[in-house]
């Protein structure tokens, strides 16, 4: 059974068709990339999967369960986590709290227990604080656990965002342009890092990118979007040679 | 100068070792309660001063509860006076008309206050619903409308005195009761803020979409915040009614909400200690400046303008005195140090 199965997904913003008839499926433990020029509808796909937008038409099934119509926090609790193209950390909060917030859905005490500091409160708080600190240590962020997220350097903010997404305990991790603003050297490190995350946390990864170097280097399979339509899908090598993709990307540069 | 600085740090450290023990708060609170009971019984503090202390307590409850919405959650509610009105009217009706036969009003009073708080909390629950969809300025308009609705409803019910208001309450709000409710509100809101739900509330302030995508049930969090906040506004209303012994709908209009807003932004948003400081400065300064007459209403806003220019988050904005941080949150720091020392080497 595929982990994620999307069929005939269509989304319109007041007449503008951002995504049309998108079909896609993913097996567990795959690493797939969605490629496409700006405005092709890549982030729309993420927003539809995570429930930020409600699909106009079509189905999204995760582990055989229909996701269209669920709220974002329900979807996250079922095991889909994401990062954002423009980093969206909780800026004024500490690095530790950024990660602890992501454990929200897995804390088993009631508001009353929290108000009165009784029952499972103490044990649960210890558990998630420990978990969060361990996760930060893995990501080499534990030194700055008490700092405000906004004070971290850019690269660390990107790492924290991934750590925060993993703290929700996902089976599927969606990375929205993880290489944005990185130089070629950093991109090489990032490729290593993404492979390592997949191994360590045994997650399935779907990433959006328009840095060819990154997607060609690590993705096992690619889907290319342009103006909301799927123009190609397949192995990176095939995609590279596909005339339609070249047209979408390099159309202007081809001499007549 | 250097000497002063070292002395200050040494003093601060001493103070922290004192406050970091688990006995500090119980002893301090017992002493406070004993003092309040003593003042109430023997009356060695003059009545005017007692009344100011009572208003101070009520203002602290109002400030810290509004801070939960406006400071911690980052919404802008101006409807706090409305919740206060609900609590004030419900509690007053209970003590004036609803007293069961054979029960002393002194025993009935805490129950009446509590019911007033619960009634306000129910109304808070209803107000939380539009907050699911609207944010920022729009929610401010919704709460403003709510405040006006409460006022005009009360003005049009003859059973509660209509625009003339309600009287006949006994002076039941005593210093010990105010102390009790003030401490309870501070304690509950602090505990809430330093819990999973509190972190949810903070994350809504920072980025609501991201918080939803990090599994925070933002509807649940908003309901909790509004219910707790309006509950304590209702409690403050009940105490206020039985301190003044007279209420009318005009007391709970937008100006009352503005007073509370000033105290919140003066003391500092998202801070328990800030709420106490803000309420104290505002309440006491207004009394001290009383001889200035009309000029006091020029001085206070002027102070606010200067504050907004030089310290836009308020005196204690987004900070917390160590005194009000739960011990277990300080223990987190210890846990972190332990881990750092004994941590096995982590991979990249």
Could you report the predicted ipTM of this complex, rounded to two decimals?
Answer: 0.92
Model pLDDT, residue A251: 65
Taking an 8 Å cut-off on Cβ atoms, the answer to whether A104 and B196 are in contact is: yes
What is the average per-residue pLDDT within A23-30?
Answer: 94
For the full predicted model, state whether its pTM sits above 0.90.
Answer: yes
Smallest Cβ–Cβ distance between B328 and the set A125, A128, A168 belongs to A125
CA distances from residue B274 to B11, B65, B260, B307 in whole angstroms, order as listed: 22, 12, 13, 14
What is the average per-residue pLDDT within B207-231?
Answer: 95
Taking an 8 Å cut-off on Cβ atoms, the answer to whether A81 and B191 are in contact is: no
Model pLDDT, residue B89: 97
What is the average per-residue pLDDT within B105-117?
Answer: 95
CB contact residues (below 8 A), chain B span 315-344, against chain A: 318, 328, 332-333, 335-336, 339-340, 343
Q: Is residue B267 part of a domain?
A: no
Model pLDDT, residue A62: 96
Smallest Cβ–Cβ distance between A104 and the set B188, B215, B346 belongs to B215
Model pLDDT, residue B346: 43
What is the average per-residue pLDDT within B265-277?
Answer: 95
- Mutant choice from B332, B337, B341 vs A, greatest count of A C-beta within 10 A: B332
Q: How confident is the model at residue A256 (pLDDT cuts 50, 70, 90)?
A: low
Residue A111: closest CA among B70, B228, B210, B331 = B228
Percentage of chain A beyond pLDDT 90 is 71
Asked if B280 and B264 touch (Cβ cutoff 8 Å), the reply is no
Asked if B66 and B264 touch (Cβ cutoff 8 Å), the reply is yes
Q: Which residue of A has its CA nearest to B203?
A: A90
Q: Are strands A221-226 and A31-35 parallel, antiparallel or unpaired?
A: parallel
pLDDT in tens, B31-69: 999 999 999 999 888 999 999 999 999 999 999 999 999
Domain range spanning residue B232?
46-252
Q: How confident is the model at residue B156 (pLDDT cuts 50, 70, 90)?
A: very high
Could you give the CA distance from residue B279 to residue B197 in angstroms, rounded to a whole number?
25
pLDDT at B295 > cutoff 90: no
Residue B82: closest CA among B157, B167, B150 = B150
Q: Is residue B315 part of a domain?
A: no
Q: How confident is the model at residue A212 (pLDDT cuts 50, 70, 90)?
A: confident
Q: How confident is the model at residue A210 (pLDDT cuts 50, 70, 90)?
A: confident
The answer to whether B104 contacts chain A (CB < 8 Å) is: no
Residue A164: closest CA among A93, A97, A235 = A97
- Phi, psi at A202, each rounded to 5°: 35, 60
Residue B239: closest CA among B302, B338, B169, B307 = B169
Enter the tokens of residue A195: 């492979």
Q: How confident is the model at residue B342 (pLDDT cuts 50, 70, 90)?
A: low
The answer to whether B186 contacts chain A (CB < 8 Å) is: no
Q: Is residue B129 part of a domain?
A: yes
pLDDT at B287 > cutoff 80: yes
Q: How confident is the model at residue A15 (pLDDT cuts 50, 70, 90)?
A: confident
Taking an 8 Å cut-off on Cβ atoms, the answer to whether A102 and B215 are in contact is: yes
Q: Is residue B331 part of a domain?
A: no
Taking an 8 Å cut-off on Cβ atoms, the answer to whether B206 and A90 are in contact is: yes
pLDDT at B348 > cutoff 50: no
pLDDT in tens, B306-340: 888 988 889 998 888 888 888 777 777 777 777 76
Q: Is residue B81 part of a domain?
A: yes
Model pLDDT, residue A119: 85
Model pLDDT, residue B347: 40
Q: Is residue B313 part of a domain?
A: no
Taking an 8 Å cut-off on Cβ atoms, the answer to whether B196 and A137 are in contact is: no
The mean predicted confidence, pLDDT, of chain A is 91
DSSP state of B346: P
Asked if A204 and A63 touch (Cβ cutoff 8 Å), the reply is no
What is the average per-residue pLDDT within B272-292?
Answer: 93
Could you give the CA distance from residue A6 to residue B290 in angstroms, rounded to a whole number?
70
What is the average per-residue pLDDT within A77-99?
Answer: 95
* Helix axis angle, B80-96 to B105-128, nearest 10°: 150
* Helix axis angle, A184-201 to A154-167, nearest 10°: 20
Number of domains in chain B: 1
Q: Is residue B271 part of a domain?
A: no
Model pLDDT, residue B345: 45
B284 vs A38, more confident: B284
Lowest average pLDDT, out of A170-184, A205-219, B246-260, goes to A205-219
Q: Is residue B110 part of a domain?
A: yes
Taking an 8 Å cut-off on Cβ atoms, the answer to whether B213 and A50 are in contact is: yes
Model pLDDT, residue B335: 75
């Amino acid at each position: 059974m595929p982990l994620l199965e999307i069929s005939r997904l269509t989304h319109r913003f007041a007449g503008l068709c951002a995504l049309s008839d998108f079909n896609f499926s993913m097996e567990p433990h795959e690493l797939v990339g969605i490629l496409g020029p700006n405005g092709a509808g890549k982030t729309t796909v993420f927003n539809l999967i995570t429930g930020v937008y409600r699909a106009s038409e079509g189905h999204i099934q995760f582990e055989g369960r229909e996701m269209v119509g669920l709220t974002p926090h329900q979807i996250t609790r079922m095991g889909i986590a994401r990062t954002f193209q423009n980093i969206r950390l909780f800026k004024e909060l500490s690095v530790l709290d950024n990660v602890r917030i992501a454990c929200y859905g897995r804390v088993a005490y009631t508001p009353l227990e929290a108000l009165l500091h009784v029952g499972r409160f103490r044990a649960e708080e210890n558990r998630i604080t420990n978990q969060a600190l361990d996760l930060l240590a893995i990501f080499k962020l534990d030194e700055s656990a008490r700092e405000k997220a906004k004070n971290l350097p850019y690269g660390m903010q990107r790492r924290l965002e991934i750590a925060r997404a993993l703290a929700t305990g996902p089976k599927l991790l969606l990375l929205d342009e993880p290489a944005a603003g990185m130089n070629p050297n950093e991109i090489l490190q990032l490729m290593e890092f993404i492979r390592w995350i997949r191994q360590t946390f045994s997650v399935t990864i779907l990433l959006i990118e328009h840095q060819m170097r990154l997607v060609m280097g690590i993705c096992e399979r690619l889907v290319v979007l342009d103006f909301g339509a799927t123009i190609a899908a397949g192995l990176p090598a095939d995609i590279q040679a596909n005339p339609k993709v070249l047209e979408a990307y390099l159309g202007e540069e081809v001499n007549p | 100068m250097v000497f002063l600085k070292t002395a200050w740090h040494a003093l601060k450290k001493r103070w922290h070792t004192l406050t970091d023990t688990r006995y500090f708060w119980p002893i301090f609170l017992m002493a406070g309660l004993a003092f309040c009971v003593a003042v109430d019984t023997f009356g060695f503090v003059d009545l005017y001063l007692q009344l100011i202390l009572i208003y101070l307590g009520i203002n602290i409850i109002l400030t810290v509860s509004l801070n939960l919405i406006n400071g911690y959650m980052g919404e802008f509610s101006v409807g706090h006076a409305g919740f206060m009105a609900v609590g004030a009217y419900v509690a007053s009706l209970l003590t004036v008309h609803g007293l069961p036969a054979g029960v002393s009003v002194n025993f009935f009073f805490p129950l009446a206050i509590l019911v007033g708080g619960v009634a306000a909390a129910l109304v808070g629950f209803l107000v939380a619903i539009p907050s699911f969809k609207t944010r920022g300025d729009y929610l401010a308009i919704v709460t403003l409308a709510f405040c006006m609705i409460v006022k005009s409803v009360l003005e049009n019910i003859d059973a509660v005195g209509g625009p003339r208001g309600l009287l006949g309450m006994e002076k039941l709000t005593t210093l010990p009761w105010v102390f009790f409710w003030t401490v309870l509100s501070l304690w509950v809101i602090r505990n809430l803020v330093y819990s999973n739900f509190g972190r949810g509330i903070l994350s809504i302030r920072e980025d609501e979409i991201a918080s939803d995508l990090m599994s925070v049930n933002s509807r649940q969090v908003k309901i909790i915040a509004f219910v707790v906040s309006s509950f304590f506004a209702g409690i403050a209303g009940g105490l206020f009614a039985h301190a003044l012994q007279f209420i009318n709908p005009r007391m709970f209009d937008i100006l009352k909400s503005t007073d509370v807003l000033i105290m919140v932004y003066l003391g500092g948003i998202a801070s328990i200690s800030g709420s106490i400081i803000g309420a104290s400065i505002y309440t006491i300064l207004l009394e001290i400046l009383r001889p200035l007459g009309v000029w006091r209403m020029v001085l206070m806003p002027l102070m606010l303008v200067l504050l907004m220019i030089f310290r836009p988050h308020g005196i204690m904005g987004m900070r917390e005195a160590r005194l009000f941080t739960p011990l277990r949150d300080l223990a987190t720091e210890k846990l972190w140090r332990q881990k750092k020392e004994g941590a096995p080497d982590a991979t990249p």
